[in-house]
Amino acid sequence: MATIHTADLCDELGPAARVCLAPWRSHGGRHAVSGHVQTLRTFEDAALIRHTLGTPGKARVLVIDAGGSLKAAVLGDRMARIGMDNGWAGVLVYGAIRDVAILQGLDFGVFALGSVPARGGKAGTGEVGVDLTIGSASIRPGDFIAMDHDGVVVTAGISTTRHPAG
């Protein structure tokens, strides 16, 4: 599937395009990512994320609500590689990541609020497949998400936009 530009998605869908208002930064080597959503909620804990990225991604994007915490990273280079190897298109982390220099060299989309060197816990707390609200946008499993340097947009289905990213 071609990656969709967020601006084109907003132009095409108007108010049906849910803009995720947060100061997102692209940290991976792939700066434009789109796909269907799988959701995960946790707080300063990386174990459930690692487990989920170890399952078949089917070109989906894992949207992680980490509570907006910048105190502990919930994703790093090893977990991103696991996601890549299992067919995930990328991750959106409402929280912190680490290993930015390595992530930038991976053909994987990593968008997050920021980075911190401290690692998150390994207790395995959290939930997968839950409805989330991040940056005033509701995000549900199966939604379609597009992420690029302009921001993050979520829709209820795949866009029929005529302007795929190149």
Q: 106-148, pLDDT tens digit by residue?
A: 999 999 999 999 999 999 999 999 999 999 999 999 999 999 9
Q: How far is CA 90 from the centre of its chain?
A: 6
Distance CA 58, CA 53 (A): 11
User: DSSP class of residue 36?
Assistant: E
CA 46 → CA 40, 54, 65, 151, 165, distances in Å? 11, 12, 12, 24, 31
Q: Answer yes or no: is pLDDT of 160 > 80.
A: no
**What was the pLDDT predicted at 1?**
54
Beta strand pairing call for 18-19 and 151-155: antiparallel
52-66, 81-95, 145-159 — which is least confidently predicted? Answer: 145-159
Q: Answer yes or no: is pLDDT of 25 > 50.
A: yes
- The string of pLDDT tens digits covering residues 89-103 is 999 999 999 999 999
pLDDT higher for 50 or 166? 50
Helix spans in the chain (H): 6-13, 47-53, 77-85, 100-103
Residues 24-44 have a mean pLDDT of: 97
pTM score, whole prediction: 0.93
State the pLDDT confidence band at 4, using cuts at 50, 70 and 90.
confident
6-155 CATH: 3.50.30.40
Residues 33-42 have a mean pLDDT of: 98
Residue among 143, 52, 66 nearest 98 (CA): 66
For the chain, domain boundaries: 6-155
Burial letters 25-46, b for 16+ CB under 10 A, else e: ebbbbbbbbbbbbbbbbbbbbb
